Amino acid sequence: MARRSRTLARGGMNRREFLRLGGAGLAGTALLGSGALAGCGGSSGGGGLTVASWDIASDALRNTIPLFKKKRPGTDVSMQSITIDYQQLVPRLQAGSGAPDVFSLAQQDFQNFLMRFPGEFVDVTDRMEKYASQFAEAPLSHARKDGKYFGVPWDMGPVGLWYRKDLFERAGIVPEDVSTYDGFIQAGKELEQKVGGGTKMTAFDASGGGTNPSHYHILLNQQGGSFYGSGGKIDFTNEKSYAAMDLLDRFVNEDIVIDTPTYDESSRAISNGDTATSMGAAWDVGTIKNAGGKDQKEKWDVMPLPAFMRGGPREATLSGSVLVISSQTQNEDAAWDFIEQALLTKEGQAESWAQGLFPSWEPYWETEAFNEADSYFGFPIAPKFADIARNVPALDYGPHFLDFQKPLMDAYAAVLTGDTAPQEAMAQAEERAASASGLGIA
């Protein structure tokens, strides 16, 4: 197909970028160097626990300490703040001493940590036995290696299509019109004509200026795709991978997208009304509220993603996190009790949901708090994403995914901004990923 260079509309920024970085991109840098040790003490002796996480996840865990203290009143808990690039954790795992007793890792990074730091994580298989059936398979798979569990799934990121109801109405679009990507593209052309003002159908990193090709991941996951072929070899050159990139390229060629490679630019596009939709995870609740403000209150809704073909799957997810116990701990039983109270009780999960972290643990989905209407949106948010989460396919990031990030990001940029076909870009990415990881190519 003839290809061309193009100048993309640029939007204004979003909080989702921060979470994307937490999921992957920065970790590779941390794993290559020693990093800083500031702010991260070692495992506690003398009956105490150290627990470490970042941002709102740290707040959620801190708020579960009273639950833990009810079970173990004599055990003190010290909370530590770590950064999402793991700079405080990696040196301590490398040294074999000083790691927190309990800490969080991104789901898509955990298999890499298990490979690079063997023996540094407690096997919780026996403890997880009675809980495993209470999780969706997608998050559960990231906590498992060789049939054993080395962590407990925490939050997950089921993805839907957020859309502006008022803009759809002005353009005469109904949800059924965008139930497939062909319909989505056609509706996008009509929307720009009828709404005007420079509003585009959707917004994402359409230039490769970001750090993580998350929309490629979403579309690959939606098809049940993978980064690996037979024998665990690298496989980016397959029809599902091409379909994901071809679709994103169509969005750009059809001129229905505003380019928002960073969090702030995505947020500004929402705030300014530059985009009518956002293909995003459940945690975008906070982004839309903050960016949309009072002027967009009750103007947003969410539905499943469009399908590649009518009747096809419409579910996808964007990573999440796990809680793990360091094998350096002197208080393994207490560390498990902390995780159990935080992630495997309704009271503990309420603290995570209060921070906007969508729980992987399904029993919480039945609670009143999880199902109540959101005052900003005017309807219950969580049940819509729970329906997606129940059926989402697992995306195998594997132990070498951090080695794949830069090659995939380069391929993504080459396809969307240049004259490179997906087949050529992904073949080049395979070669670079093989060189970085030492894996063969399928």
Q: Each residue of 290-303: pLDDT tens digit?
A: 899 999 999 999 99
Question: What element of type H or E holds 26?
Answer: none
What does the pLDDT read at residue 393?
86
User: Per-residue pLDDT for 253 more than 50?
Assistant: yes
Which of 115-124, 162-171, 191-200, 277-286 comes out lowest in average pLDDT? 277-286
For residues 370 and 353, the answer to whether their CB atoms sit within 8 Å is yes
Measured at the CA of 343, the angle between CA 340 and CA 345, to 5 degrees, comes to 75
> Rounded distance, CA 195 to CA 402, Å?
41
pLDDT tens, residue by residue, 271-286: 999 999 999 998 888 8
225-251 b/e with 16+ CB inside 10 Å = b? bbbbbeeeebbbbbebbbbbbbbbbeb
pLDDT tens, residue by residue, 337-391: 999 999 999 999 999 998 889 999 999 999 999 999 999 999 999 999 998 988 8
Give the mean model confidence (pLDDT) for residues 156-176: 97
For residues 287 and 264, the answer to whether their CB atoms sit within 8 Å is no
Strand 148-149 and strand 257-259: the pairing is: unpaired
- pLDDT tier at 43 (50, 70, 90 boundaries)? low
Give the mean model confidence (pLDDT) for residues 175-198: 96
CA atoms in the 13 A half-sphere facing the CB of 387: 12
Closest CA to 114 of 49, 54, 31, 42: 31
Share of the chain above pLDDT 70, in %: 90
- Domains in the chain, ordered, with CATH? 22-157+320-391 (3.40.190.10), 159-316+397-437 (3.40.190.10)
184-201 b/e with 16+ CB inside 10 Å = b? bbbbbeebbeebeeebbb
What does the pLDDT read at residue 1?
40
What does the pLDDT read at residue 413?
97
For residues 327 and 336, the answer to whether their CB atoms sit within 8 Å is no
**Helices (H), strands (E): how many in the chain?**
20, 11
> Rounded distance, CA 377 to CA 210, Å?
29
- 3-class SS of residue 25: coil
Answer with the residue of higher pLDDT: 249 or 47: 249
What does the pLDDT read at residue 419?
83
For residues 221 and 395, the answer to whether their CB atoms sit within 8 Å is yes
DSSP at 226: -
For residues 59 and 436, the answer to whether their CB atoms sit within 8 Å is no
Strand 144-145 and strand 152-164: the pairing is: unpaired
- 3-class SS of residue 377: coil
What does the pLDDT read at residue 56?
85
User: Per-residue pLDDT for 24 more than 60?
Assistant: no
Answer with the residue of higher pLDDT: 56 or 42: 56
- pLDDT tier at 431 (50, 70, 90 boundaries)? very high
What does the pLDDT read at residue 272?
96
What does the pLDDT read at residue 211?
82
Q: What is the pTM of this model?
A: 0.81
- pLDDT tier at 42 (50, 70, 90 boundaries)? low
Give the mean model confidence (pLDDT) for residues 246-269: 96
What does the pLDDT read at residue 267?
94
User: Per-residue pLDDT for 224 more than 80?
Assistant: yes
> How many Cβ atoms are within 10 Å of 133's Cβ, its own excluded?
8
- pLDDT tier at 46 (50, 70, 90 boundaries)? low
pLDDT tens, residue by residue, 316-339: 998 889 999 999 999 999 999 999
Tokens 């160097």 sit at which residue?
Answer: 33
Question: C-alpha distances in angstroms, 363 versus 104, 343, 345?
Answer: 21, 11, 8
Question: C-alpha distances in angstroms, 347 versus 148, 212, 289, 426?
Answer: 27, 34, 25, 45
Q: Residue 69 corresponds to which tokens in the numbers above?
A: 């203290």
For residues 61 and 50, the answer to whether their CB atoms sit within 8 Å is no
What does the pLDDT read at residue 7?
40
What does the pLDDT read at residue 391?
84
What does the pLDDT read at residue 136?
80
Question: What element of type H or E holds 409?
Answer: helix 401-417
Question: C-alpha distances in angstroms, 397 versus 216, 229, 345, 430?
Answer: 13, 12, 28, 15
> Rounded distance, CA 24 to CA 28, Å?
8
Which residue type does 155 have? D
Average pLDDT, the chain: 89
Which residue type does 424 have? E
Q: Where are the alpha helices (DSSP H) in 223-331?
A: 239-253, 263-271, 284-292
Measured at the CA of 22, the angle between CA 277 and CA 330, to 5 degrees, comes to 145
> Rounded distance, CA 253 to CA 2, Å?
11
For residues 319 and 157, the answer to whether their CB atoms sit within 8 Å is yes
What does the pLDDT read at residue 396?
87
Answer with the residue of higher pLDDT: 162 or 318: 162
> Rounded distance, CA 135 to CA 313, Å?
20
DSSP at 326: B
